[in-house]
A = this chain, B = another copy of it.
């Protein structure tokens, strides 16, 4: 974190605050982990540290992207933006917490599609009235989301109703994962070409100081490595602290891990909507669950089978699939509407609360 002092001019204020906060959070989380302090404290500090490191990864990628153009930024972000979530999931699979990982994957999608989208519509709508959503790009993302939710649902349905495919759960999940990854590869150039789909945007960076390349690469490497460590602490603290707080595994995965893992992107999306950049906000918010469905989930399925972790399949519980389906259908109709208002935002938040309630009882 020494770069902070060497090249102070390249950082804007918010960067410095995040760097300091991240350093403090990591120190506290490390102490809590190694000294075996109170598990709730360990959980909270490591969750906070993961969120801040995710934000640093995002900033470094932005700075690199500024150099290589928006296309490369998109590729980098697709690959690196979900790194912390990937680390958390791998450690959780190693610890045998398959149900938590499944709930967290679905929860990340739900929190983006319902809570974050709802908050951005609500805040944006109250401040600026009815807001336009970029039609073409948004619709393509929504259709890909719809497709991937359905692709995730099919192995689950096959399992529930014991079709002849049910005993082949692992192979079926693997095939679905490969198809989804192929689709992601096809989607990648389209998203790069269109430029704006990535989280990065030239407008945001233009007026900011530029980091030297060694700083961006260095910070990216360090933040990613630290994210891997802290993710381990986070997963270790998760179960005892949830037990201490009397929170069910499903709720922990669906709500707490999901919100912690996406905290920064979520804040960005809502801020953009508040600034009346509704099209851009919509794109940022929807792009995150799309990457989870098309990239992260398939990748975890393949990794878990290849590296012999607790096997992750795409068989989710009926309640998770129902929730996903409800979320994507609502989001689809709202985005096909082409406009958002605060009432639609409130509706999305309402259904998120109802779904979270459904998972509250352990």
Contacts and interface: CB of A to CB of B under 8 A. Distances in A.
B357 A175 contact: yes
B347 A172 contact: no
Interface of A: 130, 136, 139-140, 142-144, 146-147, 150-151, 153-155, 157-158, 161, 163-165, 167-168, 172, 175-176, 179-180, 182-183, 186-187, 190, 248, 250, 317-319, 322-323, 326, 329-330, 332-334, 336-337, 339, 341, 343-344, 346-348, 350-351, 353-355, 357-362
A242 to B, nearest CB: 14
Nearest to A343: B190
Contacts of A143: 330, 333-334, 337, 344, 347
Given A164-B248, A179-B353, 5 more contacts: A140-B341, A140-B343, A165-B357, A183-B350, A186-B346
Copies of this chain assembled into the complex: 3
Contact of A157 (B154, B180, B319, B334): B319
What is the predominant secondary structure among interface residues of chain A facing chain B? helix
A351 B318 CA distance: 20
The winner among A179, A183, A358, A361 for most chain B CB atoms within 10 A is A358
A58 B60 CA distance: 61
B359 A165 contact: yes
A334 B154 CA distance: 20
Contacts of A140: 341, 343-344
A143 B250 CA distance: 28
The winner among A164, A187, A323 for most chain B CB atoms within 10 A is A164
Nearest to A165: B361
